[in-house]
Amino acid sequence: MVSYLSRYVTLLPGDAIMTGTPSGVGPIEPGDEIEVEIEGIGVLRNGVVAETV
């Protein structure tokens, strides 16, 4: 997926590729926390905030 996407967009450090969620998982809401872990490297945590217009 990274190879395919990088043909069309420039991926930068910290970019997250969202691929969807498994069945039964609801949408993310402000106040939720998204966590991605890569074994041997570490954990990236981002809080979800409401978009301001």
Over its length of 53 residues, how does the chain's per-residue pLDDT go in tens digits? 889 999 999 999 888 888 877 788 878 899 999 898 999 999 999 999 998 88
- pLDDT for 27: 82
Q: How far apart are CA 4 and CA 28, in angstroms?
A: 26
Asked whether 25 and 31 are in contact (CB, 8 A), the reply is no
What is the C-alpha R_g of the chain?
A: 14
pLDDT at 36: 87
Sign of the C-alpha dihedral computed for residues 10, 4, 49 and 13 taken in this order: negative
pLDDT value at residue 44: 93
* Neighbouring residues of 30: CB distance < 8 A, sequence distance ≥ 6: 48, 49, 50
